[in-house]
Amino acid sequence: MGHTKLHVELLRYTPRPEEVVAMGAKLCYSPANINDLKDGIESKDQAGFVDKLVSMGHMSPVEHVSFSFGVEGISRACSHQIVRHRVASYSQQSQRYVGEQTAKHEGGIFDFVIPPTVVDAGKGKWFEEKMAVIQEWYDELNTALGDLGEKTQEDARFLLPNAAETKIVITMNARELLHFFRVRCCNRAQWEIRFMAEEMLRKVKEAAPKLFTNAGPGCVNAKCPEGKMTCGKQDEVREKFLSM
Ligand SMILES: Cc1cc2nc3c(=O)[nH]c(=O)nc-3n(C[C@H](O)[C@H](O)[C@H](O)COP(=O)(O)OP(=O)(O)OC[C@H]3O[C@@H](n4cnc5c(N)ncnc54)[C@H](O)[C@@H]3O)c2cc1C
């Protein structure tokens, strides 16, 4: 409770992702039938081919592979930003079905995320006290609503803050992931989704290194796309992501 406990797990992904991408791409250019193509692909390492494909921007084959992540220890503020990405699938813990009553929590308060800046500003304890007050409001409203009918949690949750912790399963194909990393690994993205995106990137780089060789914020492969809003740290950022 009370501090960031970001946990990102790569749950499952399309087996042999680079071969699947190579299959989609080679089919576009070859007169061969599926089985011959498949044999050819399986007999040779596809890393170089996939690398070339992504650099060329031939992206539709990259959509054939998907990655599913389990994420916990993030705030509802963060998950709200995640789900703005539409080319993806999500399953998020429900605040209707999973209540936040005092009795359900060790320490008596719902789980929440404190932004590091709040702690740095000496406001960590103060922030926790405010969460405890919200917990009291939640319990009070939940009990009051209980006297009226059954749907107590679904309306008591209106009192919960953006800081409330959540859990979410995310599935994205590799093309969407490359886009997601471009905008969410950027220093201009909010810190929490940026930390999460970096963790996701680390995991997919292990699973499909060639597919994600140049993945990261927009400035990793080109001039910073942020214009006047640039963080001005392109060299440092590029170095960080290319050596990840
Ligand atoms: C730094 C930062 C600040 C932000 N600030 C705000 C803010 O103040 N307010 C706010 O509301 N949002 C904000 N956003 C969210 C942003 O506007 C997008 O909603 C979010 O990043 C999802 O990205 P997306 O729409 O590119 O892509 P996705 O939904 O991930 O889709 C991927 C791509 O598919 C294409 N696509 C998807 N759907 C459509 C469609 N319907 N029509 C055409 N093409 C489509 C687009 O090319 C899109 O880039 C911010 C995002 C960032 C990174």
Same domain, 51 and 84: yes
Q: What percent of the chain has pLDDT over 70?
A: 98
Bridge partners of 74, per DSSP, are: 166
Query: Per the domain annotation, does 1 fall within a domain?
Result: no
Q: Compute the distance between CA of residue 141 and CA of residue 227 in angstroms, rounded to an integer.
A: 48
Same domain, 116 and 218: no
Confidence at residue 116, expressed as pLDDT on a 0 to 100 scale? 95
Same domain, 62 and 113: no
CA-only gyration radius of the chain, Å: 22
Same domain, 175 and 137: no
Same domain, 34 and 86: yes
Query: Per the domain annotation, does 139 fall within a domain?
Result: yes
Segment (H or E) for 79: helix 76-82
Q: How many CB atoms lie within 10 A of CB 172?
A: 21
Which of 30-39, 142-151, 180-189, 208-217 has the lowest average pLDDT? 142-151
Same domain, 176 and 234: yes
* Ligand 1 and 179: CB distance under 6 A: yes
Per the structure, the count of domains in the chain is: 2
- Checking if the pLDDT of 123 tops 50, the result is yes
Query: Per the domain annotation, does 75 fall within a domain?
Result: yes
Which of 107, 88, 87, 120 has the alpha carbon at shortest distance from 165? 107
What value does the mean pLDDT take over residues 132-159?
91
Confidence at residue 103, expressed as pLDDT on a 0 to 100 scale? 86
Dihedral of CA 219/222/224/226: which sign? negative
Known catalytic membership, residue 12 = no
What value does the mean pLDDT take over residues 214-243?
94
Which of 49-63, 131-145, 158-172 has the lowest average pLDDT? 49-63
Give, for ligand 1, the residue of 63, 79, 82, 84 to mutate: max count of ligand atoms closer than 8 Å to Cβ. Answer: 84
Domain boundary among 141, 159, 177: 159
On the CB side of 143, CA atoms within 13 Å amount to: 8
Cα angle, residue 170 at apex, residues 164 and 176 outer, rounded to 5°: 125
Do residues 156 and 96 touch, judged by C-beta distance below 8 A? Answer: no
Query: Per the domain annotation, does 2 fall within a domain?
Result: no
CA-based max dimension of the chain? 71
Query: Per the domain annotation, does 120 fall within a domain?
Result: yes
Residue 4's pLDDT band (boundaries 50, 70, 90)? Answer: low
Stated pTM of the model: 0.94
What value does the mean pLDDT take over residues 182-208?
97
Query: Per the domain annotation, does 110 fall within a domain?
Result: yes
Same domain, 58 and 142: no
Residue 3's pLDDT band (boundaries 50, 70, 90)? Answer: very low
**Which carries the bigger pLDDT value, residue 149 or residue 96?**
96
Give, for ligand 1, the residue of 176, 179, 228, 231 to mutate: max count of ligand atoms closer than 8 Å to Cβ. Answer: 179
CA distances from 11 to 67, 68, 187 (A): 8, 5, 27
Same domain, 176 and 68: yes
What value does the mean pLDDT take over residues 60-85?
97
Confidence at residue 154, expressed as pLDDT on a 0 to 100 scale? 92
- The length of the chain in residues reads 244
Same domain, 11 and 86: yes
Domain boundary among 159, 176, 207: 159
Query: Per the domain annotation, does 64 fall within a domain?
Result: yes
Same domain, 80 and 195: yes
Q: Compute the distance between CA of residue 162 and CA of residue 127 in angstroms, rounded to an integer.
A: 13
Q: Which domain holds residue 203?
A: 7-90+165-242
Q: Compute the distance between CA of residue 106 and CA of residue 9 in angstroms, rounded to an integer.
A: 24
Catalytic annotation, pick one of 76, 175, 182, 184? 184
Q: Measured in angstroms, how far is the CA atom of residue 84 from the centroid of ligand 1?
A: 7
Compute the mean pLDDT over every residue in the chain, rounded to the nearest whole number: 93
- Checking if the pLDDT of 2 tops 80, the result is no
- Checking if the pLDDT of 79 tops 80, the result is yes
CATH code: domain of residue 187: 3.30.1360.170
Same domain, 81 and 102: no
Same domain, 177 and 155: no
**Amino acid, single-letter form, for residue 114:** I
What is the DSSP-derived secondary structure letter of residue 44? S
What value does the mean pLDDT take over residues 221-232?
93
